[in-house]
Amino acid sequence: MEYQLKIYSPRGYDKEDCIKMFTSTAPFLPLRTGDFLNASDWDPTGPKLLRVLNVEHVIVEKSGGGIDPSGRIIHRALIYTEGVADSAQTRHESNTAAHLGR
Protein backbone atom coordinates (compact mmCIF):
# COMPACT_ATOMS: atom_id res chain seq x y z
CA MET A 1 0.00 0.00 0.00
CA GLU A 2 1.20 3.48 -0.86
CA TYR A 3 -0.15 6.55 0.93
CA GLN A 4 -0.24 10.04 -0.55
CA LEU A 5 -1.18 13.30 1.12
CA LYS A 6 -1.89 16.08 -1.40
CA ILE A 7 -2.35 19.63 -0.10
CA TYR A 8 -4.29 22.04 -2.31
CA SER A 9 -3.83 25.80 -2.19
CA PRO A 10 -6.53 28.33 -1.40
CA ARG A 11 -6.37 29.44 -5.06
CA GLY A 12 -8.26 26.44 -6.41
CA TYR A 13 -8.58 22.70 -6.72
CA ASP A 14 -7.02 21.86 -10.06
CA LYS A 15 -3.94 19.63 -10.36
CA GLU A 16 -1.81 22.76 -10.74
CA ASP A 17 -3.06 24.00 -7.34
CA CYS A 18 -1.46 21.10 -5.45
CA ILE A 19 1.16 22.95 -3.40
CA LYS A 20 2.65 19.94 -1.63
CA MET A 21 2.53 16.16 -1.92
CA PHE A 22 3.88 13.65 0.56
CA THR A 23 4.25 9.92 -0.11
CA SER A 24 4.73 7.18 2.47
CA THR A 25 4.50 3.44 3.00
CA ALA A 26 2.69 4.11 6.31
CA PRO A 27 -0.61 5.96 6.80
CA PHE A 28 -0.51 9.64 7.74
CA LEU A 29 -2.17 10.89 10.88
CA PRO A 30 -5.72 12.00 10.04
CA LEU A 31 -6.42 15.64 9.18
CA ARG A 32 -9.87 17.04 9.87
CA THR A 33 -11.82 20.11 8.84
CA GLY A 34 -10.63 23.06 10.93
CA ASP A 35 -7.11 21.69 11.53
CA PHE A 36 -4.19 24.02 10.80
CA LEU A 37 -1.21 23.21 8.58
CA ASN A 38 1.95 25.25 9.00
CA ALA A 39 3.13 25.75 5.42
CA SER A 40 5.97 28.16 6.16
CA ASP A 41 8.61 25.80 4.69
CA TRP A 42 6.67 24.87 1.53
CA ASP A 43 6.26 27.98 -0.61
CA PRO A 44 7.95 31.28 0.26
CA THR A 45 5.31 33.24 -1.68
CA GLY A 46 2.24 31.41 -0.36
CA PRO A 47 0.31 31.58 2.91
CA LYS A 48 2.25 30.49 5.98
CA LEU A 49 -0.77 29.04 7.79
CA LEU A 50 -3.51 26.98 6.15
CA ARG A 51 -6.82 25.79 7.59
CA VAL A 52 -8.27 22.49 6.34
CA LEU A 53 -11.64 23.06 4.65
CA ASN A 54 -12.32 19.55 3.42
CA VAL A 55 -10.69 16.13 3.15
CA GLU A 56 -11.38 13.76 0.26
CA HIS A 57 -10.11 10.18 0.10
CA VAL A 58 -9.31 8.40 -3.15
CA ILE A 59 -8.35 4.73 -3.28
CA VAL A 60 -7.04 3.43 -6.60
CA GLU A 61 -5.32 0.36 -7.94
CA LYS A 62 -2.21 0.65 -10.07
CA SER A 63 -2.33 -1.26 -13.33
CA GLY A 64 -2.11 -4.99 -12.76
CA GLY A 65 -5.08 -5.00 -10.35
CA GLY A 66 -5.74 -7.00 -7.25
CA ILE A 67 -4.37 -6.74 -3.76
CA ASP A 68 -0.61 -6.92 -3.89
CA PRO A 69 1.73 -6.47 -0.89
CA SER A 70 4.24 -4.74 -3.19
CA GLY A 71 2.09 -1.62 -3.13
CA ARG A 72 -0.40 -1.79 -6.00
CA ILE A 73 -3.06 0.07 -3.97
CA ILE A 74 -2.77 3.84 -3.48
CA HIS A 75 -4.68 5.73 -0.78
CA ARG A 76 -4.71 9.46 -1.55
CA ALA A 77 -5.94 12.00 0.95
CA LEU A 78 -6.73 15.27 -0.85
CA ILE A 79 -6.61 18.19 1.58
CA TYR A 80 -8.38 21.40 0.50
CA THR A 81 -7.30 24.50 2.39
CA GLU A 82 -7.69 28.24 2.86
CA GLY A 83 -5.03 30.70 3.94
CA VAL A 84 -5.50 32.27 7.38
CA ALA A 85 -3.60 34.89 9.37
CA ASP A 86 -0.52 33.35 10.98
CA SER A 87 -1.13 34.67 14.49
CA ALA A 88 -1.67 33.53 18.04
CA GLN A 89 -5.15 35.04 17.87
CA THR A 90 -6.11 32.81 14.92
CA ARG A 91 -4.97 29.73 16.79
CA HIS A 92 -6.69 30.81 20.02
CA GLU A 93 -10.02 31.58 18.29
CA SER A 94 -10.00 28.22 16.54
CA ASN A 95 -9.21 26.37 19.77
CA THR A 96 -12.00 28.22 21.60
CA ALA A 97 -14.51 27.43 18.83
CA ALA A 98 -13.55 23.74 18.94
CA HIS A 99 -14.16 23.58 22.68
CA LEU A 100 -17.56 25.28 22.27
CA GLY A 101 -18.57 22.67 19.68
CA ARG A 102 -18.65 24.94 16.64
CA distance 41 to 30: 21
pTM, entire model: 0.76
Sign of the C-alpha dihedral computed for residues 65, 16, 8 and 26 taken in this order: positive
pLDDT tens column, 59-93: 998 776 555 555 589 999 999 999 887 777 777 77
pLDDT tens column, 14-59: 777 888 999 999 999 999 999 999 888 887 777 789 999 999 999 9
CA distance 81 to 78: 10
C-alpha torsion angle, residues 46, 47, 51, 57 (rounded to 10): 10
From the CB of residue 97, how many other CB atoms can be counted at a distance below 10 Å?
11
Sign of the C-alpha dihedral computed for residues 34, 36, 42 and 44 taken in this order: positive
